[in-house]
Structure 1
Amino acid sequence: MQPVLAFDVYGTLIDTLGVTIELERRLSDASKAGEFAKRWREKQLEYSFRHSLMGAYVPFAECTREALVFTDRALQTGLSDNDRDHLMAVYAELPAFPDVVPALDRLRDAGIRCVAFSNGTEEAVNQLLTRAEVKSHMDAVVSVDAIKRFKPAPAVYAYLRTRLETRPEATWLVSSNPFDVIGATHAGLRSAWIRRHSDAPFDPWGIEPDMTVPELETLADRMMR
């Protein structure tokens, strides 16, 4: 049975730190750009977890904006409303990692279905992947927005299988985010962790991915053996 690969989007296909260059232009202290980008991303995920646990779902873009406001306050960077609107627009046009398209093309040429699976709304993810020139290399986009829950809730992985009409053992979650990998594995899916940074730690929960690779072309090599 051929596997179906469901790729996380933010941080796996799309480089969320790609906003750093624009932050360097917008912040009065450009040296804070790297820390700002990192904290913005961390808070974005934290807010998605909190909204999901509270049963107070909002679209992922709202989590992103809330995290932007918090980070601005925490680092005292003094962004204007125009700055924030501009940075949100930049976040909607982030670049893909360079290994994404070559790996997807190889996998699809081998007959392996590749879908995007994201916390973002379907509209937002379609636009993001289109601008990053990735959308045409995917078979579909699946968004958690349909069930108003965020990863890593078990319901989102069950919804993924329902949409794809696949069995757990043939459904792979591919992500650079350990929480996503652990959530999918806990829900009975197969999982691949994309360890894009050699010093990135994995959560010590006693749940390990089925595969760990440094980038997507290595994933394609392993899947096509």
Structure 2
Amino acid sequence: MAVRLFVFDAYGTLFDVGGAARQAAAEPGAEAWADRWVALAAQWRRKQLEYSWIRAVAGAHADFWQVTQVALDWTLEAEGLADPQLRQRLLDLYYELPVFPEVPEMLRQMKELGFTLAILSNDSPPMLQAAVVSAGITPFVDAVLSIEEVEVFKPDPAVYAMVGACFGVAPPEIGFVSSNGWDACSAAAFGFHAIWVNREGAPMDRLQGRPAHELSDLHALPILVAGMGDGNGRSR
């Protein structure tokens, strides 16, 4: 069955989740902690994901912006950086995260190949819209889907089912791209044509599905998928 559209995870796949800590560390006044920004960003992201999984399993949903804030609070305390001004600066910057350098050109090429493009993310609609607009990628994105429609975080199958409901296509017709191994594996198990963007060179997760392809970044994605379409999102 032909792949007709591609859906991207947002944070870590299109948007650089380390961007907020990296920029804050480069600003005046950050000298005391600037050499720890990488660890801070990694801890923040890890707690963000952990809290989303726990809430999904517990049936205790909260929107991702709340999860992002409490994950940051934990991280700042763990790093000995419980500074209200730093907290606010990091949250402000998170609303304007940069995309990875290859993203705009990759999206442009994907559109030229004729594919419909969408984002499917754990994040709340205001966060997603702010990020898309700030990054200047609005012209390339046909739809932005938030899990707030079903109020459960990935990898719950209800999240992946949103794509078919929105576009009226079956799972095998959907290409799914994520930098999170667990997300790519779960999407593959759901039936998507999953592509894992393994930016960190990590081992494949031992889960219930396996992505069809693995890339180190998004540069080569248009080349990879060109054989799946004829310029109208249909396979050759």
**Unmatched 5+ stretches in structure 2:** 228-236
Distance 1:71 1:60 in 2: 16
Q: Distance in 1 between matches of 2:77 and 2:162?
A: 36
| Residue 51 (structure 1) shift | 1.2
Aligned counterpart, 2:8: 7
Higher relative contact order (CA 8 A, sep 6+): 2
2:232 is matched with none
State the alpha-carbon separation in 1 of the partners of residues 51 and 31 from structure 2.
23
Which residue, 50, 53, 60 being the options, matches 2:57? Answer: 53
Q: What residue in structure 1 maps to residue 224 of structure 2?
A: 222
Q: How many Å separate the matches in 1 of 2:172 and 2:191?
A: 7
Structure 1 counterpart of 2:40: 36
CA shift, 1:28, in A, is 2.7
2:71 aligned with 1:67, yes or no? yes
Rounded to whole Å, the distance in 1 between the matches of 2:113 and 2:152 is 33
What residue identity is the alignment partner of 1:91? Answer: Y
Deviations 1:37-81 (A, max 9, x none): 11001110111111111111111111110110001111112322x
Conserved? CA contact 1:28–1:77, under 8 Å = no
User: Which SS does the other structure have where 2:152 is aligned?
Assistant: coil
Cα distance, 1:2 vs structure 2: 4.3
Q: Which runs of 5+ in 1 are unaligned?
A: none
Q: Which amino acid in the other structure matches residue 34 of structure 2?
A: A
Q: Is residue 186–residue 209 contact of structure 2 (8 Å, CA) maintained in 1?
A: no
Query: Which residue does the alignment assign to 2:101?
Result: 98
Contact 2:179 2:199 in 1 (8 A): yes
- 1:27 is displaced (CA, Å) by 6.6
1:212 aligns with one of 199, 211, 214: 214
Using the alignment, how far apart are the partners of 1:172 and 1:101 within structure 2? Answer: 18
In the superposition, the TM-score normalised over structure 1's length comes to 0.94
Deviation (angstroms), 1:140 = 1.1
The one-letter code sitting in structure 2 at the alignment partner of 1:15 is: D
Shift of 1:160: 1.9
Aligned length: 223
| 1:146 matched residue in structure 2 | 149
- Superposed, which structure 2 residues align to 1:106-125 within 5 Å? 106-125=109-128
- Report the 3-state secondary structure (helix = DSSP H, G, I; strand = E; otherwise coil) of the residue aligned with 2:219: helix
Q: Root-mean-square deviation (CA), in Å?
A: 1.5
Indicate the percent of aligned positions where both proteins have the same amino acid.
Answer: 30
Q: SS in structure 2 opposite 1:6?
A: strand
- Say which structure is richer in helix: 1
Structure 1 letter corresponding to 2:116: R
Pair 1:27–1:35, CA change in 2 (3 A): farther
**Which residue of structure 1 lines up, in the alignment, with residue 22 of structure 2?**
21
What pairs up with 1:165-184 in 2 under 5 angstroms?
A: 165-184=168-187
User: C-alpha separation between the residues in 1 aligned to 2:178 and 2:206?
Assistant: 17
Per the alignment, residue 200 of structure 1 pairs with 202
